[in-house]
Structure 1
Amino acid sequence: MWSPSRRGSAWLSVFNEIAAAVLDTRGTVLTWSRAAEDLLDRTSEEVCGKPVGDLLVSTPDRCRRDEADETGTGQAERALLRHRSGDAVEVAFQVLPLPHSSLLVLAAPAGRVIDWEQGAALLRALLAQDRIGIGIHDTDLTVVRTNITPDMFGGPGLPVGSRLADVMSPPDADDAEAALRQVLDTGVPLAVHEQRMRSPQVPERQWSFLLSALRLQDAEGRASGVAALCTDATGQQRTRREMELRYQASVQIGASLDVERTAQDIVDVLVPAFGDLASVALAGAVFEGDEPSKILGGGELHLRLAAVASAAGSWPAALLQPGDAVPPWPDHPLLRSYQRGEAVFADRVSYVEAFGTPRILRQATPEGGHSMVSAALYARGLTLGYIDVWRTEQQEPFDQQDADLLSEMASRAALSVDNARRYTREHRASVALQQRLLPRATTDSPAAETAGAYLPAGGGAEISGDWFDVIPLPSLRCAFVVGDVIGHGLPATATMGRLRAAIQTLADLELDPTELLTHLDDLVDRIATEAGPEHQDTIGATCLYALYDPVTGRCAVASAGHPPPVVVRPEGTPRILQELSPGPPLGVGGMPFETTTIDMAPGSVLALYTDGLIGRADHDTDTGLRHVMAELAAHCRPDRPLPETGRALLADAAAPPPRDDIALLLARTRVLPPHATAAWEFPADPAIVADARKATLRQLTAWGLDDLAVATELVVSELVTNAVRYAGGPIGLRLIHDHVLICEVTDPSNTQPRLRRARWTDEGGRGLFLVAQLTARWGSRYDQSGKTIWAEQHLPLASPKREPPS
C-alpha cells in the first residue's frame, strides 16, 4: 500500500493548486492564501483590505453569501481574474459560508478543474467495467485500486494491497512485473502486450491477457505509480492458435506421397501446438497400398504405429514404437465412436476405466498424461487409421472444441493418407512392371561381365522409361543397350517395354547397329502414329546400341541422340568415345545413323548411361560428364567388382535425388585367347570339302573334343558343300571353342539359307535339316561382303581343353 508520506505528498500536490480567500459581507478580502498569490502574482498585502471586485475582469452573476444554497454550500461558478501582467485568468470557484458572517472562496484554474472532473469520471467508468480490468499500482507495484474480482475473468481476483505474485505463477508474475517496472522507470507506455497467466489457485486453466500500462505522475511530474489495463484474450488466442494449426496442416500435410511421411507430417503439425504427444496408427494394409478391412468393435484391429512426435524431443521408450503392432483393444462405446469417424476426448480416469488393461496402460498411456483426444482417419468410406493426442505438460484438458478441431484436421489429413496409399499401390504396380521389363542386374558371359543399375527420379517417387539391356548373340557376341524414353509414368514404361522387345528381336536377326536403329526408328514413328494427336509430340526416345565380338575384341557402336559412352582402359584411364557420330533421336527421322568401330583391350570397361547421370541441377551436361569420368577413374578398377562401381556412381548421383531417371550399364569386356579359335579359307572347289573335314578333325583332336568329331564333320561338310554349290568363293571356315563349340562358314553370297523338308524321292535338300538336327541351334548373319552361317553344339560334360598343336 501507499505509505502515509507518499499519500500526503500526492494529496498536497492537488491542494497546492487551490487558491483560497476569506471575504466579509461587503466583498472585502480579509485573507489571501499562498496559492492565490501564485495564481495572480499578487501578494496578500496588495489584496487584503480591498474589494474582491478589483480583481475581476467581469463580475459573476452569483458571488454573495445570500446567494448560497439552502444547504450552506455555494454553487461552482466561473470568473475571469486579472493577473498582475494584465492577462485574464479563468478560474472555477465556489463560495462557502463561514461563521461570523464571512465567506470562503475556493478557486482553481478552470483547465485544472476540468482535468480533475474528467479524470475522476474516467476512473469511475473504468472501475465500473466488467470486461476491462484495471489495476493501479504504486511505485512498489502494490495494488492500490482495482476492479478485478474473481467473477471478471473466471480466475483469482486482484485485491487491494496484493502483488501480482500473489495471484499468478512465479514465471508469469515476473514477466508482468518486469513489463510494469519498465513503464515506471522509463515512462514509455506499454501497448497491447500479450501476457500469459497461470495461477496456483486454478492450476488446470491458463489465460492470455492483452496488457497495456502507463506511468502515473504527480503535479511536479514525479512517478507516482502505474495504471494497468487488461482484457481477456484467451478466446482470441485460441482462435488464432486454431487458425494457425489449420494453416500449418494445409501447408505441411499432403506434400508427400509416402504413407509414413504423410503420417509423420500429421503428428509434427500437432506437437507441440495442440498436444505434448501425438501418434498415428494405420491399418497394416495401408502401408502396402491396399484398402483396409472394415472392423467395428474391439479385438485385433490390425493396426501398426506409423508416426510419433513428442514435445520433449524423444518418444517415451515405454510406449509403442513406430512399426509396432497395436495390441488388441477391449470393446467399448468410446472405441466404437471413433471407429465410426467421430472424434472423442477423455481424461485419464475415463480412459483407464474404458481401456484399462495392463498392456494398454503400459503401451498406450503416457506417464503424466492427463487428457487425450482421438480421431479417425476416415476417407472415401474407409477407416485408414487413428490419430491420438495426449497432454502431459499442457495443463488445460481437451474439450469438445478441441475434439471438433482434430476431427476437422483428421478428415483432411485422411485424404492425404489415402492419396499416398493409392499412389503406393500404383507405384508398386508400376515398379513391378518396370522391374519385370528390365534384365538381370548382372550377367557373366564369354564376351563380358556386366552390371546394370536403375535409379528412379525423385528418390524413387517417379518411374520412367530409362532402360538397359544385355543381349547374348551367336558366336559368343554380345549386345549392350541403353535407352531413354521421353516422359514419365506408365506410358513411358509401356513404350520402353515395346522398344526393348523390338531391340531383342532385331538383335536376334544379327543386324548391324546402323540397320537396327533404323528399324527401331520406324517402330517409334508407328507408335507415335498410333497415339492420339495430343500425344504424338511426346513420343520419342534416345538409344545407344553396342555390338561386341570377343573373338576380335572389336565393338561396333551406333547412337540415336544418346550421350556417348565412356571407355575405361584396364589401367583405369577413362575416355569419352568422341569419334562416335550420333544420329537423331528415335522418332525424328530424316538423318541416317552411323556405326563406329573401336578396339577394346581385354579388361576394358564400357560405361553406358542415360542423361540423368550427367544432367544434374547444379551443373551442365559437359560438367556432369567430366564428373562421371572422374568417378569412373576413382572407382572403376580391375580388382573391384562392377556392381560396387555402379553403386558408387549412383550413390553420388542420388544426393540430391535426381530430376530424371538414371540407367547405368557397365561391361568389362573379355577377349578369347588365340588358341580358342581356328580359321581357314578355301576356294570354291568341291574338292576342298574333304580338306575342310580333315582340318576340323585335327582341331577337335587338339581341343580334346573327339566326341563331337562325327557330328561336327557332317555339319562342316554340309555347310561348305552348300557354299561351294550356291555361293562361290572364297569360303571361310572358323571354329570357336568356349563353353560351346561353334562352327562358322562364310561365303560372298547374300542368299538367305532356308530349311526345308525334302521328300523321300528327292536326291538333295537335306543339308540344313541335318545341321539343325545335329546342333543345338543354327542361323545366319550378313555383312557388307556376304553372309556367315553358324551352328552351335553343346560340349560334353568333360572336355578338357588342350594347347593348340605346334
Structure 2
Amino acid sequence: MAPMDPAREASDGPTPSGPRELLDASTDAAAVVSAAGVVLGWTRGAEALLGLPASEVVGGSAARLVAMPADPARVAAVAQRCRAGMGWSGLISVRHRDGRSLDVDLRVSASFRIGADECFLLSARERRQQWSVGQSVLDGFLTRSPIGMAVMDEELRYVWLNDTLERFGGVPREQRLGRRLSELLPGLQGAAIEGLMRKVLDTGVPVTDYEYLGWSWADPHRQHAYSTSFFPLVDADESVTGVCYMVQDVTERWTARRLLTLVNEAGTCVGTTLDVMRTAQELADFAVPRFADFVVVDLLEPVLSTEGHGAWLTDAGPASVGPVMRRAGMSSVREGCPEAVVRVGDRAGFLPPAHDVNLLVDGEPILLPVLDPSDERWITEQPERAAKIKEFGLHSFIAVPMRARNTILGITTFMRSLNPVQFQPDDVLLARELVARAALCVDNARRYTREHTAAVTLQRSLLPQALTGGTAVEVASAYLPADPTDGVGGDWFDVIQLSGGRVGLVVGDVVGHGITAAATMGRLRTAVQTLADMELPPDELLAHLDDLVLRLSAERTDDEAAHRSTTAFLGATCLYAVYDPVTRRCTMARAGHPPPVVVAPDGQVSFPEPPAGPPLGLGGMAFEATEIELAENSLIGLYTDGLIEGSDGDMELGMSRLGELLSRSDLDLSTLCTSAVRQLVPVPQPDDIALLLARTHALGADHVASWQVPVDPAAVADVRARATRQVAAWGLEDLAMTTELVVSELVTNAIRYAEPPIRLRLIRDSHLTCEVADASSTAPRLRHARSTDEGGRGLFLVAQLTDRWGARYTPDGKIIWAEQEIP
C-alpha cells in the first residue's frame, strides 16, 4: 500500500464509520488497485475525471496520480481497516492530466482477492465548492422579495418585516415593530389573522394560502385581496419561538374569480323567463347590492314592442332625433328607489351628459369613478337627476350599452352611494359581462315575444271572427291560447251553414305548438269548410281530412329530411257534427277527439259517444258516424282536451265538471260559455282551449212543405202550382216566379233522368230552399248550351237566379237543392 502514502497526508484520520454515501460505480470514477499500489483496473468515469486513458494508467503506480505528500503511517492504518472488512472515505487531491489539482471524495472498499493478489476498489467524485450565502445577498432577498414577510414573537408582536410588507400595509416599519397587527390595521381582519398565528404557535402546524379582503393605508380607496401563509420558527431544541408569515397581493386573481362567480350566478338568476320586462328587472335585482346600490335598465321602445327591430338606426331623420327609451327595470338598496327620476314603464331617455346616441351605437361603457353633481353639464342637461345625485350621495357611476347580435337594446346604469368604494376599471369588466349576459336574455325574450305574438295573431286570424248558426242553432264560443312558455297550439272550431237549414259544428286540435301548428290548423279548417260545402256526411268528411293530413305529413317529412330532422308526424283530432232543424237529428263522427256534451232542456247531462276513430294522420282506418235526436232547446257542446284535462289530468272528472257547469239554465249562452272556461281553467295551461256551444232550435210544420211527385211529366204543372201557392202563403210573392222556374226545372230533371220515389220540399228559414229528392245516385251536371241547342239551359238558369245550389247524397239516393235569399 506504499503508493497510498500521499492520501494519508490529506486525511485527519480514519473515519469512525463506513462511507458517507453508498458506492455508485455507475457515476463515480473507479479503479482497482493492488496492495502493492499497482493500478489493475480503470473505468471511463476515472478517465473522464482525470483525463487519463486506461492504456496510460493500468499497470503503473497509483502514487503518480496523487498530488499530495506521502503519509505511510496513515496509509497503513487505512489498509489495516480495509483488511478488517470495513471501508474508508476521505478527501484527497489528485492530479489531472493537464497538471491542475482536483479535490475529490475518495472511498476505499474492504479488501478482496483477485487470484493471489490482495486488491482494493477505489471510488472518487469531485468535491464541488458549496455555495455560501453572503449577508448582502440574504438582505437583498428579504427586503426586495415581491412577497411580504414578517417575523412575530410569541406575543404576536412584530420583530422584523421586509420592505414589501411595509408597502402593502402602508404603515412604516418603525410604527410596526413591537406592536401587534390588530393594533395597526383593525380593518384588515386582524383578529382572524392573529387567531391563525396563535394556532400555529400552539400546534406547530403551518397554515398556507389563507385569503382575505381588506384595505391598505397605501391604497385606501380600493379593496385588495391577500393570500397569507404562516409557519412556526423553531430553535435548536425544537421549541417554537415565533411565527413567520408571508403575504402576497392576489387582487387580480380574486377579481377574476369574483367576476367568473358573479357571471355564473347571473346565469341562474337573470333570464329565467321569456319576458323582456321581467328579464330587465332580474338584472337590476341581481346587481343590487352585490355590485351597486342603484341600478336602472332602460330599453328602446321597439325592443319592448312586438315588432321592433331597432329601426330608428336606419331612419334618415335629423341627427338630433334620438331613440325613445322606457324604464324596464330598476332596483335600489333604499326601499322604493327614491333615487329614480322616472318609474318603470315611463319614458326614460337617460344618457350621461356629454354623450349622445353614439353611446348606444358604439357600445363602449362609460366609467365615472367620481360623480360630481355640481358639474355644469349635469346641472344644465339633467337638473332633476343632478339634484337626486346630490341628495342621495351617488358618488360613482358606470353606464353600459346593451347590445346582442348586432342589435341595440338599451342601456344599463350602475351607481354607488352607501358603498364608499369607487368603481374601478375592473368593475367595468364585471358590469360589461353582466350586461352582455342579460342582453342575450333580453334579445331572446324579444324574439320569442315577437314570434309568439305572430303565432297568436296568425291563429286568431284563422279562427272564425263571427259565428252564426242561422235559425238552426244559437252559438257561442270561447278560446284561450296556451301559456306563452309553451307556445301557441292548434285548436280550432267552426260553424258552417249547410243546405236545408242545416248547420255543421266542428272542433279540432292539431298536435304541437307554434306557428307551424297554427298554420296547419288554418289549412285543416279551410279543408273542413270545403268538404262541408260538398255536402259530405261526417264520416266521409273525416276520411277525406285524414288523407289531407297524410299528404301534409309527407310534405313535412320531405322538408325536415332536408334539414336532418326526425320529427315528421303531423297529427290532429277532430269532431264534426251536422244538425238538421227540420228533423232535429244530429249526425256526428270523430277522429280521436273527446265526445260532445249534451244538456237536455230539463238539465239532464249526457255524453253521446260515437266511435272514437283514429286521430287524423294515421291512415288506413275507417270512421263511423252516429245519429242522435235532440229536443228543441237542447245544448250541445264541443271542446278540446285542454278544457277537461285540468292539473290532475283526469279527463273523466273534467267532463263531469263541464257537464255540471253547462247544466245551469239561468245564464245566457255567451255568459255560460265564458263562465265555464273561467271556472275549469282558472290559470294558464300548457295547451290551447276551445269551447263551442250550440243551443238547438226546430223548424215547425209552418216552415216546411213537401209533396210526393208522380213519375209523369204532366205532374210538373200541378207541383209547380202548389209550390207557387205555398210561397205566396208565406208572404214571399217576390220569389214566386223564381221558385216556379226552379221547381219546374228540378222536378222535370228528376222525372226524366232519376228514379222514383221523387219528393219536393220547400223550407223557409233565413232562406227559401227548394229540394227535390230521388232514389238515383247520379247528380246533374251544369253545362253551357250552345246557341244552336234546343235545351240544356235549365240548371244554368237555376244557378243564375238563385244564391246557390248543389246536391247531397243520402242513404236512399240524393237531394238537389237551390236557395234564394229572402228579402
TM-score, with structure 2 as normaliser: 0.68
Q: Which amino acid aligns with 2:365?
A: A
Deviations 1:206-245 (A, max 9, x none): 567899999xxxxxxxxxxx99999988766644432221
Opposite residue 679 of structure 1, the aligned amino acid is A
| 3-state secondary structure, aligned to 1:246 | helix
Shift in Å, 1:326: 2.6
Task: Provide Cα deviations, 1:603-632, integer angstroms capped at 9, x if missing partner.
Answer: 43333233334445x534xx1342243145
Could you tell me which residue of structure 2 aligns to residue 244 of structure 1? 261
Q: CA deviation at 1:657?
A: 3.4
Distance of 1:307 and 1:771 partners within structure 2: 68
Number of the residue aligned with 2:288: 271
Q: Judge conservation of contact 2:395–2:416 (CA < 8 Å) in 1.
A: yes
SS of residue paired to 1:542: strand
2:428 to 383, 403, 406: 403
1:591 aligns with one of 621, 634, 657: 621
| CA deviation string 1:743-790 (max 9, x = no partner) | 222222222122334456655433323323332222221111111222
AA aligned to 1:769 is F
Change beyond 3 A, Cα 1:199–1:153: closer
Deviation at 1:161, TM superposition (A): 8.6
Which of 609, 616, 619 pairs up with 2:648?
Answer: 619
2 CA distance for matches of 1:436 and 1:494? 10
Q: Compared with structure 1, are the counterparts of its residues 683 and 380 closer, same or farther at alpha carbon in structure 2 (3 Å cutoff)?
A: closer
Residue in 2 that maps onto 1:529: 554
* 1:773 corresponds to which of 792, 800, 805: 800
* Displacement of 1:410: 2.7
CA-to-partner distance for each residue in 1:336-381, whole Å, 9 max, x for gaps?
4564121121145357638515673435965332111111122333
1:739 aligns with 2:766: yes
Aligned-partner Cα distance in 1 for 2:579–2:265: 58
SS in 2 for 1:349: coil
Query: Which residue of the partner structure matches residue 666 of structure 1?
Result: 692
How far, CA to CA, are the matches of 2:638 and 2:576 in structure 1?
9
* Displacement after TM superposition at 1:558 (Å): 0.9
TM-superposed deviation, 1:585: 1.9
**Structure-2 change in CA distance of 1:633 and 1:769 (3 Å):** same
- Contact map agreement 1:249 1:269 (CA 8 A) in 2: yes
RMSD of Structure 2 on Structure 1 (CA) = 4.7
CA distance in 1 between counterparts of 2:555 and 2:157 reads 88
2:738 aligned counterpart, secondary structure: helix
CA distance in 2, matches of 1:153, 1:344: 30
Q: State the partner residue of 1:552.
A: 583
Query: Aligned letter for 2:748?
Result: T
* Contact preservation (8 Å) 1:338, 1:344: no
Q: Which amino acid aligns with 2:614?
A: P
**Secondary structure of the equivalent of 2:545?**
helix
Q: CA deviation at 1:330?
A: 7.8
Q: Which residue of 2 aligns with 1:435?
A: 460
What SS does the corresponding residue of 1:488 show, helix, strand or coil?
coil
AA paired with 1:619?
D
- Say which is worse superposed, 269-278 or 257-266, in terms of deviation: 257-266
Matched, 1:374 2:399: yes
Corresponding residue of 2:673: 645
* SS of the residue 1:244 aligns to: helix
Deviations 1:478-519 (A, max 9, x none): 222222333333433333332222211111001001111111
The 10-residue stretch of structure 1 (355-364 or 505-514) with the greater mean CA deviation from structure 2 = 355-364
Match of 1:117 in 2: none
Cα distance change on mapping 1:701 and 1:280 into 2, 3 Å:
same
Q: Structure 1 residues 155, 605: CA separation in 2 closer, same or farther (over 3 Å shift)?
A: farther
The one-letter code matched in structure 1 to 2:524 is L
Q: Which stretch shifts more, 384-393 or 719-728?
A: 719-728
Matched, 1:476 2:495: no
Q: 347-356 vs 272-281, which deviates more?
A: 347-356
The answer as to 2:593 corresponding to 1:562 is: yes
Whether 1:362 aligns to 2:394 is no
1:690-709 alignment runs, 5 A limit: 690-709=717-736
Percent identical pairs in the alignment equals 42
Cα distance in structure 1, aligned partners of 2:659 and 2:473: 18
Which 5+ residue runs of structure 2 have no aligned equivalent?
Answer: 1-141, 232-242
1:400 Cα offset (Å): 0.7
CA contact (8 A) 1:299 1:329 kept: no
Structure 1 residue 795: Cα displacement = 1.9
Q: Which residue of 2 aligns with 1:657?
A: 685
TM superposition shift of 1:597:
1.3
Deviations 1:58-79 (A, max 9, x none): xxxxxxxxxxxxxxxxxxxxxx
Verify the 8 A CA contact 1:168 1:199 in the aligned structure 2.
Answer: no
Tell me the SS of whatever aligns to 2:285: helix
**Contact 1:454 / 1:662 at 8 angstroms: preserved in 2?**
yes
Contact 1:528 1:536 (C-alpha < 8 Å) held by counterparts: no
1:385 paired with 2:410, answer yes
Aligned residues between the structures: 658
Q: Which residue identity is paired with 1:772?
A: A
Q: Which residue of 2 aligns with 1:307?
A: 329
- Deviation per residue, 1:33-79 (Å, 9 max, x gap): xxxxxxxxxxxxxxxxxxxxxxxxxxxxxxxxxxxxxxxxxxxxxxx
The 5 Å alignment of 1:182-581 reads 238-287=255-304, 288-292=306-310, 293-294=312-313, 300-316=322-338, 318-327=340-349, 332=354, 336-337=358-359, 339-347=361-369, 349-350=371-372, 353=375, 356-357=378-379, 360-362=382-384, 367-440=392-465, 442-459=467-484, 461-532=486-557, 534=561, 537-578=568-609, 580-581=610-611
Distance 1:719 1:286 in 2: 64
> In structure 1, what is the Cα distance between the partners aligned to 2:684 and 2:206?
49
8 Å CA contact 1:379, 1:414 repeated in 2? yes
User: For residues 209 and 344 of structure 1, what CA distance do their matches in structure 2 show?
Assistant: 29
The Cα offsets for residues 13-48 of structure 1, whole Å up to 9 and x where unpaired, read as xxxxxxxxxxxxxxxxxxxxxxxxxxxxxxxxxxxx
Quote the Cα distance in structure 1 between the aligned partners of 2:750 and 2:449.
60
Structure 2 distance, partners of 1:231, 1:541, is 69
Determine the C-alpha separation between the residues in 2 that align with 1:145 and 1:715: 124
Q: Is the 8 A contact 2:508 2:572 kept in 1?
A: yes
Looking at structure 2, the residues matched to 174 and 562 of structure 1 have their Cα atoms a distance apart, in angstroms, of 75
Change beyond 3 A, Cα 1:429–1:444? same
Q: Is the 8 A contact 1:264 1:308 kept in 2?
A: yes
Conserved 8 A contact 1:305-1:321 = yes
Could you tell me how far 1:646 is from its partner in structure 2?
A: 4.0
CA contact (8 A) 1:628 1:649 kept: no
2:814 matched residue in structure 1: 787
Which segment drifts farther, 350-359 or 707-716? 350-359
Once the two structures are TM-superposed, the CA of residue 276 in structure 1 deviates from its matched residue by: 1.8
Query: Compared with structure 1, are the counterparts of its residues 445 and 393 closer, same or farther at alpha carbon in structure 2 (3 Å cutoff)?
Result: farther
Q: How far apart, CA to CA, are the structure 2 residues paired with 1:537 and 1:469?
A: 27
Distance 1:668 1:174 in 2: 82
Structure 1 residue 462 displacement after superposition:
1.4
Query: Relative to structure 1, is the Cα distance of residues 257 and 476 closer, same or farther in structure 2, using a 3 angstrom cutoff?
Result: same
